[in-house]
Amino acid sequence: MDASKTSSTTETSSPAGRFAAGADPVKREQIVDGAKRVFMQKGFDAASMNDITREAGVSKGTIYVYFDNKEDLFIAMVERERAAFLASLRTVLNDNDDVETGLRAFGIKFLEHLTDEKIVNAMRIVLGVRERMPDLCARFFRGPQNLRGVLQDFLTRHVEAGTLVIDDIDLASGQFLDLASGSFFKFRLFGTMPEAPPRPQIERVIHGAIQVFMAAYGAKKADPPSE
């Protein structure tokens, strides 16, 4: 353990009514909030633990009680944002029983998130260090909570209900995400689209994605009996 982890006099003991070292969720969120602001302003390489300490308003000893280094802080920031986003997508899908309505709400929220400036900047940060820090990139893209898994649960429910016919749900979920992203994400990532697409363009892409997806996987209605 880093020696600085033992230097904090404010969080290394746990008398009645106080958290043990590194266990205060409010303090942890305060640190991650500060780190997020620094990373978004300076990028990963230029950010320092001193910068984050100042921005979060905590002592250096305190920050090392919670996190070993800025890599840990970056992953904590990413995983927090991802967890909140996935929770919102689960809610969207759970609130919509109709398959096309659910896919539309999911797709719009997904594409708005994917093209948001903060998300694009985070992707650029990770890609910028991918050769020096492959483990960081792997943790970023293969987090414990998976976007595809959220969609798979929804598709599975509709397969069981008979509204979809899908043999490979993992493949189908990836196909819908690819269709829903359109070309917008690549344009945003590489700077050829300086701002996020307007809502009508997003809706147009998602509408087309649903049409293609349902043509492939929608349950076919039986023909009426011939007279």
Q: What is the mean pLDDT of the chain?
A: 83
Residue with token string 């982890």? 5
Long-range contacts from 160-167, C-beta under 8 angstroms, 24+ separation: 162/219, 163/99, 163/218, 163/219, 164/99, 164/217, 164/218, 164/219, 165/217, 165/218, 165/219, 165/220, 166/217
Enumerate domains of the chain plus CATH numbers.
20-67 (1.10.10.60), 82-220 (1.10.357.10)
Say if residues 159 and 165 touch (Cβ distance below 8 Å): yes
User: Which residues partner with 166 through β-bridges?
Assistant: none
For residues 18 and 146, the model is more confident at 146
* pLDDT recorded at residue 9: 39
> Among 78, 92, 96, which Cα is nearest to 158's?
96
Is 221 a residue whose pLDDT tops 90? Answer: no
pLDDT tens digits for range 111-133: 998 898 888 887 887 777 777 77
Residue 52, token pair as written in the block: 């984050």
- The band of 160, judged by pLDDT with boundaries at 50, 70 and 90, is very high
Residue 227: the pLDDT is 53
Mind listing the pLDDT tens digit for each residue in 166-183? 999 999 999 999 999 878
More confident residue, 108 or 135: 108
Give percent of the chain above pLDDT 70: 82
Query: How many other β-carbons are positioned within 10 Å of the β-carbon of residue 68?
Result: 11
Read off the DSSP letter of residue 222: P
DSSP 115: T
CB 91 within 8 A of CB 155: no
What gap in Å lies between CA 43 and CA 46, rounded to an integer? 6
Residue showing tokens 């293609």 = 212
What confidence tens digit (pLDDT) does each residue in 88-105 have? 999 999 988 899 999 999
Q: What is the DSSP string of 145-209?
A: S-HHHHHHHHHHHHHHHTSB--S-HHHHHHHHHHHHHTTHHHHHHTTSS-SPPPHHHHHHHHHHH
- Is the CB of residue 113 less than 8 Å from the CB of residue 215? no
